[in-house]
Chains A and B, each alone.
Chain A
Amino acid sequence: MTEPIVSIRGVSKKFPGGIIAVDNVHVDIAQNEFFALLGPSGCGKTTLLRMISGLETPTEGQIMIGGEDMALTPPNKRPTNMVFQSYAVFPHMTVEDNVAYGLRVTGVAADETTRRTAEALEMVKLSHLAKRKPDQMSGGQRQRVALARALVKRPKVLLLDEPLSALDAKLRDDMRMELTRLQETVGITFIIVTHDQDEALSMASRIAVMDKGAVQQIATPSELYEQPTTRFVADFIGKVNLIDAKVLSTTAKAITCEAKGLGKMSVPTNKSCGDTVAIAVRPEKLKLSVSKPADAKLLAIAGKVRDVAYYGDTSHVVVSASDGLDLQINVQNDTRTGGSGVERGQKIWVSWAPDDSIVLTE
């Protein structure tokens, strides 16, 4: 990686009262990345974002932006701009004045301010509403004002705090594409905070998953989904079947283990394992069949269909196997008449390729 634009080194934030919001976080974010901080509410992702913007001060560690230590730089001197969750569009100013605000207060010349404001409004397609007051606009429009207001400053890093959470579903999809398009056009590093895994997976080039103040894993969306390193990540990103297993023996390429409900099995992994692991399998990797699959390489288990939920494009099937093990299987409804092809109470076989199992050690 070339010189990172944002480098977070061992940053912690302790609030009075002993609450540790952010716990020893190390992240390097490259130029032009669309980086997502993903985690459940209260995981410290917003606090981390606010520390990058300078609105919060780290209790420990160092934040570098563009190679400079930001410890003593107040928010108004940082090369970052933020789109707030509440948008914080000034209600007493027109759209135009909102966008021009950041230029005017820093002494940018009047004609340049006018030109850049017009450009920014053009970019977010709000030129026709320049004279409006924010209270005459929809949530989506106000958000675009907030975006234009931040982008017009040409920051090195744009920070977005849950930018889509206040929009309705349809608008959210549009805005998601719009944000991706904008990021490609302006070529600025975006750091987005979100609790929505779909949002992070579909927009970000890299994601840091956070839990209880700590970073669990930093990876590309597909890596996160297919190669999660912890139970938390596997469970938080998408759906997953987690099966507890006791390790019997290990080699360099695989482990043999006694898995709950599955019995003795061998799973490929190059990780060093302790005594217990969890085997994770994504629901769409599991296949259903009426009889035991002929392919001996597949892992197969017999069970009974406990529940079928129809979602249009897919059906979610829950199969109860022995030992109290429940497995979730996603079935593509790829013909109009077939549906999931199974009924509640039906006896069924569930199978998957050993390579689709992920071994989780923590």
Chain B
Amino acid sequence: MDNWKDNRNVFWTLATPGTFWLFVFFILPLGFLFVMSFSDKAIIDGQISITEYDYLTGVTNYFRSVEPLYLQIMWKSIWVSALATALCLLTAYPIAFGICFAPDRWKPLLLLLVVLPFWINLLIRTYALIAVFRTQGYLNLTLGVAGLGPYEMLYNNFAVIFGLVYVYMPFMVLPLYATIERLDKSFLEASLDLGATQFTTFLKVTVPLTMPGIITGIILVFIPCLGSFLTPDLLGGANAIMIGNVIERQFKAANDWPFGAALSFMLMYATLAALMLRAFLASRSKGVDV
């Protein structure tokens, strides 16, 4: 690759549209929200205004966002997301492994099956899950034939976690597939040849060497899980509210943009902290480039 300085015109031509897009539709609104998080709704004639704001009044919104009620929801969102990510990893790894070791002519079809759900709108897919899990849903009907149930399966944390795993699974499978596919199979053969069992080989060779894919998958699943609001809203209802729902309500129902902005940034800080922790661990391990 040439140094960009040698081809300045090409560089700027290629870089400008994207930069412009990111700046106008991402950085600017984000900056606006950042300012908003330090602001308050204006008080005009003793009344809280619906549309006007007093800008940069202080950090009261942040104080509010660390009140136990919100911290609790934040904490719950983190562990729900973590659990969903872990389940994604546990189910996606065998799938990715299976695709890699499938005959070559099957691979495109299997990969297509993994991404096929993307062809259908998320909302429709989530309603489909409701149809499966509701009290008179397909799952309970099937269980009923076996003389079981009906069970209450919707509107709890289980339903939310299941929904998140279902929605974000492809984001875990694809990076895992990419790294496992690149993995030189002779490493696995060497391990077996040196006397390791299949299980030891998996733990000591396969997992460490596919760590880049695992980390990428975790990031790609955990972050959107943490900010998700549609899935918990539809599958969790009032019982399984996540931080995304709280933020959504501040911007819409509660019409409290400053507080919503503060909560959004708290969520972003949590995400950044997780990414920094990852970078720190990666720099310490030094071995495989993650």
Interface residues of A (CB under 8 A from B): 53-55, 74-77, 80-82, 84-86, 88, 90-93, 101-102, 105-106, 133, 149-150, 153
Contacts and interface: CB of A to CB of B under 8 A. Distances in A.
Contacts of B205: 90
A92 B209 contact: yes
A91 to B, nearest CB: 7
Given A86-B184, A88-B184, A105-B200, A55 B194 contact: no
A76 B187 contact: no
Interface in B181-203: 184, 186-187, 189-197, 200
Given A92-B287, A105-B194, A106-B195, A86 B186 contact: yes
B288 A101 contact: no
A76 B193 contact: yes
B106 to A, nearest CB: 14
Nearest to A146: B190
Contacts of B200: 105
B275 to A, nearest CB: 22
B204 interface: yes
A93 B205 CA distance: 10
Contact of A92 (B186, B189, B288): B288
A101 B194 contact: yes
B170 to A, nearest CB: 27
B43 to A, nearest CB: 61
A84 B190 contact: yes
Contacts of A80: 193
A15 B193 CA distance: 22
Contact of B196 (A55, A76, A88, A91): A76
Given A90-B205, A92-B208, A133 B287 contact: yes
B196 A105 contact: yes
Contact of A55 (B189, B195, B287): B189
Interface in B264-290: 287-288
Contacts of A93: 287
Nearest to B196: A105
Contacts of A101: 191, 194, 196, 204
Given A82-B190, A102-B195, 13 more contacts: A54-B193, A55-B189, A55-B192, A75-B192, A76-B193, A76-B196, A84-B189, A86-B186, A88-B189, A92-B208, A92-B288, A101-B196, A106-B195
Given A86-B184, A91-B209, A92-B287, A81 B194 contact: yes
| Shortest Cβ-Cβ A-B pairs, 9 listed | A102-B194, A88-B190, A105-B196, A88-B186, A106-B195, A92-B287, A92-B208, A75-B192, A82-B193
A153 B287 contact: no
Interface of B: 184, 186-187, 189-197, 200, 204-205, 208-209, 287-288
A90 B195 contact: no
Contacts of A55: 189, 192-193
Nearest to A102: B194
A158 to B, nearest CB: 11
Contact of A76 (B197, B204, B209, B288): B197
Given A105-B200, A105-B204, A133-B287, A88 B187 contact: yes
Nearest to B189: A55
Contacts of B195: 76-77, 102, 105-106, 153
A212 B286 CA distance: 46
B209 A75 contact: no
Contacts of B190: 82, 84, 88, 90, 149
A128 to B, nearest CB: 21
Contacts of A77: 195
B192 A76 contact: yes
Given A86-B186, A88-B187, A92-B287, A75 B208 contact: no
A121 to B, nearest CB: 16
Contacts of A153: 194-195
Contacts of B184: 86, 88
Given A105-B204, A133-B287, A90 B187 contact: yes
A54 B197 CA distance: 13
A339 B80 CA distance: 85
Contacts of A75: 189, 192-193
Nearest to A93: B287
A106 B201 CA distance: 12
Contacts of A88: 184, 186-187, 189-190
A105 B288 CA distance: 21
Contacts of A81: 193-194
Contacts of B209: 90-92
A239 B80 CA distance: 72
A59 to B, nearest CB: 19
Q: Which of B193, B195, B288 has the most chain A CB atoms inside 10 A of its CB?
A: B193
Nearest to B285: A92
Nearest to A81: B193
Nearest to B190: A88
9 contacts: A76-B192, A88-B186, A88-B189, A90-B209, A101-B191, A102-B194, A105-B195, A105-B197, A149-B194
A185 B202 CA distance: 34
Contacts of A84: 186, 189-190
B95 to A, nearest CB: 24
Contacts of B287: 91-93, 133
Nearest to A152: B194
Nearest to A89: B190
A80 to B, nearest CB: 8
